[in-house]
Amino acid sequence: MPLMSILYIGVALVVMAMNIGNIPNMFVEIFRGAFDFEAIFGGFAGSALMYGIKRGLYSNEAGMGSAPNAAASADVAHPATQGLVQMLSVFLDTIVICSATAFMCMSTGIDADAKLAGIPYVQKALESQFGSFGEVFIVVAMVLFAFTTLIGNYYYCEGCLKNITRNRVPRALLLVFRIASTVLVLVGSCISMGLAWDTADLLQAMMVIINIPVILILWKPAIAALRDYERQRAAGKKPTFKAANIGLAGKTDCWN
């Protein structure tokens, strides 16, 4: 949701500007927390590293194989064009939006603890700056982000279902799938947070295990497509793709 993302980043920048005097100390705390004795050995033990990987997947899903569904539906003249857009989305999700949240909260000087963490912590940080508006803003932002995420993931799943059935999904099966999707959203909102995280971690791990080997298999044609794109850009042309350009003539369903 681009508009909400821009508004969210704008609010974060305003909060940081209001607390610009706390910015140096904020970065000191970030580096102190990242390189202290406990964090280093926690990383060596694997716990901190694994936690970071699992939560990092939620922010950008890089390498998980979920977003190609949406990328494949884009109408572009060269696949590398959309590939670069997908790379940018990973950067924006993780580096820009997630960092904006951290900087916004830490710049207020309010410390998180076991009782004040997650969304309540973000709400408390904004409330300290904007009063009740801060709490309401975060609620609205989370609702919109969650809603668009649900719609996007449903689109991915229905696209996969249509691909498996070669675009001949029986109406009864599609109805059952839609009902099951709605029920799962309800179940997910009712179960404990710990169970929800553990279930999502397991399912995401399964997707990564399936997708990473596929990435390794397809890396050569992917790099060849990128080189073809760069070669056309360097020649001053608008990149257009033909499978034959990278030795895939007759081996693809499109781009022939």
Cβ(177)–Cβ(171) under 8 Å?
A: no
Cα 168 from chain centroid (whole Å): 30
Task: Please give the structure tokens belonging to residue 141.
Answer: 């932002």
pLDDT score for 233: 93
Annotated domain spans of the chain? 2-239
pLDDT score for 37: 62
All residues at 6 or more sequence positions from 101 whose CB lies less than 8 Å from its CB, including other chains: 12, 122
Compute CA distances 131 → 136, 146, 195, 200, whole Å: 9, 24, 33, 34
Q: Over pLDDT 70: what percentage of the chain?
A: 93
pTM to 2 decimal places: 0.76
Compute CA distances 198 → 67, 181, 192, 254, whole Å: 22, 19, 10, 39
What residue type is 54 in one-letter code? Answer: K
Q: What is the pLDDT of residues 41-86, one digit of tens each?
A: 655 556 667 777 777 777 777 888 887 877 877 888 999 999 898 8
Q: pLDDT band at 231, cuts 50/70/90?
A: very high
